[in-house]
Structure 1
Amino acid sequence: MIDIAKANKELSAATPLDIIKWAVEQGKKPIVSTHFESMEAVVLHTAVQAKKDITVVWADSGYNTRDTYLVAEKLIASLELEVEVYTPKITAARWDNAFGGVPDVGEESHDAFTKNFKLEPFTRAMKEVAPDVWITGVRSEQTAFRQNMEVISQGADGVIKVAPFLHWKEADMLAYLKEHDLPNVENYFDPTKGLSNRECGLHTQL
């Protein structure tokens, strides 16, 4: 049983790589999640340094930009990522044609849309992959909710949730990309958020 408070204290001055190394030592089945969004290459590049064959879970909504898919394929190949892709049970084409496309945040159908295209695929992934440690790339400057997160926390079903880059700023991420010559997604679109500083429910619920 991990003492969350003790772990956060001991890792308060640790680098993201050291935090991930600690994380992969804690469980038998660690994962790192990704949406291949902007600067996500930093998280993935660091994760595979700690554990070369770490499982990467990608809940692909089907609404990603071409830029996102191209960068994703580059990273999968160059970092030799072990990716498990989970897609919605309803396709983007079917939703667009049957329900009129991506709803605005204020529309009644937005919650159902988010559940179908973000929450359900990722929840299914967590059940099927069954990790005991979940590494995520969230950062505190991204949303108000994340400002109150800790680097180590306990998620749903007892999964240890680890945010090694929680206190990094955008400038830190960009510097890492440049230092390691990593590709970056410039044109990213998350249909479930509406606004970049809004939570979709993934981290508030899981």
Structure 2
Amino acid sequence: MLTYNNNHKRSMISQEEINRWNVELHGQSPSEIIRWALSQFGSDEAIVSTSFGPYASVLLRLVTEIDPLISILWVDHGYNRPATYKYAEKLQNLLDLKLHVYSPRLTAARRDALFGSLPIARDNEGALRQFSIAMKLEPFTRAMEDLKPRIWIAGLRQEQNSNRQSLDIVSFDSTFQVLKINPLFYWTDVQMKEYLLQNNLPNEFDYFDPAKGDEKRECGLHASWARNAVNKQKANK
């Protein structure tokens, strides 16, 4: 059983209830899903994560249209390309985001000096994981401890990679012990592009996540191995 604050009252949420929610929310619009989540748990206990990658403006516009003061969390690992930093600045100004920026304790320059060049797709999985643990999981874990959300609204979509095929709109994230909501889960690239055009929103495709190596992999924030890595980090504090 999972413990949550539902309408500000302590309650237990079972996997059966999560399954029921997924059935009920299937076919609902992203805006309806977001409104449902915030009405269930409260926007003051929610965070929205973003990488300012492709289509990031879609989720950010949807959530801030419903609650302009909702907390937006960005882990800036220090290796973003100039276009991504400019995109982040543009969306910050356009949507007036309540942005919380967290960076690793290990700077990019220091990491490069100590460990060499960035891991690439053909490197062994261990190199990519170590990068993700130090440069993404560490600051994200710190952010979650500071902000203490009960729900995490993310931009995961089913068609993005094979790792996400088995997910759904609502799930329990055992790594960070929060309910994860993916309002755009069943949207296609075509629907994302249409939303951008309809709302005159900018996009950014010059994006690279060194924690993945390529778009077929999952970064540490959503990977199954993350829980052990986070627990180990906490134990070593």
One-letter amino acid of the counterpart of residue 43, structure 1 = L
- Work out which of the residue numbers 129, 134, 154 in structure 1 matches 2:147: 129
Q: Is 1:203 the equivalent of 2:198?
A: no
Moved more, 156-165 or 40-49: 156-165
1:46 CA drift (Å): 0.3
Native 8 Å contact 2:128 2:213 kept in 1: no
Instruction: Give the corresponding residue for 1:45.
Output: 61
Give the Cα–Cα distance (whole angstroms) in 1 for the partners of residues 87 and 114 of structure 2: 30
One-letter amino acid of the counterpart of residue 161, structure 1 = K
Native 8 Å contact 1:26 1:133 kept in 2: no
Native 8 Å contact 1:24 1:51 kept in 2: no
- Work out which of the residue numbers 99, 104, 117 in structure 2 matches 1:88: 104
Give the Cα–Cα distance (whole angstroms) in 2 for the partners of residues 40 and 46 of structure 1: 10
Q: Is 1:71 the equivalent of 2:90?
A: no
Give the Cα–Cα distance (whole angstroms) in 1 for the partners of residues 164 and 211 of structure 2: 17
Instruction: Give the corresponding residue for 1:165.
Output: 184
1:49 CA drift (Å): 1.4
Offset from partner CA, 1:103-124 (integer Å, 9 cap, x none): 2342453322111111111111
Instruction: Give the corresponding residue for 2:29.
Output: 15
Give the Cα–Cα distance (whole angstroms) in 1 for the partners of residues 103 and 167 of structure 2: 27
One-letter amino acid of the counterpart of residue 199, structure 1 = E
Q: Which has the higher contact order (CA 8 A, sep 6+)?
A: 1
Native 8 Å contact 2:129 2:220 kept in 1: no
Give the Cα–Cα distance (whole angstroms) in 2 for the partners of residues 153 and 81 of structure 1: 26
Corresponding pairs, count: 206
Instruction: Give the corresponding residue for 2:213.
Output: 194
Give the Cα–Cα distance (whole angstroms) in 2 for the partners of residues 96 and 158 of structure 1: 32
Offset from partner CA, 1:125-163 (integer Å, 9 cap, x none): 111111001100011111111111010111135411100
Offset from partner CA, 1:42-100 (integer Å, 9 cap, x none): 01000111211100000111100111011111111111100111101111111112221
Runs of 4+ in 1 over 6 A off after TM superposition: none
Identical aligned residues as a percent: 42
Offset from partner CA, 1:158-186 (integer Å, 9 cap, x none): 41110010111111111111111111112
One-letter amino acid of the counterpart of residue 117, structure 1 = M
Instruction: Give the corresponding residue for 2:164.
Output: 146
Q: Which residues of structure 2 form unaligned runs of 5+?
A: 1-11, 228-237
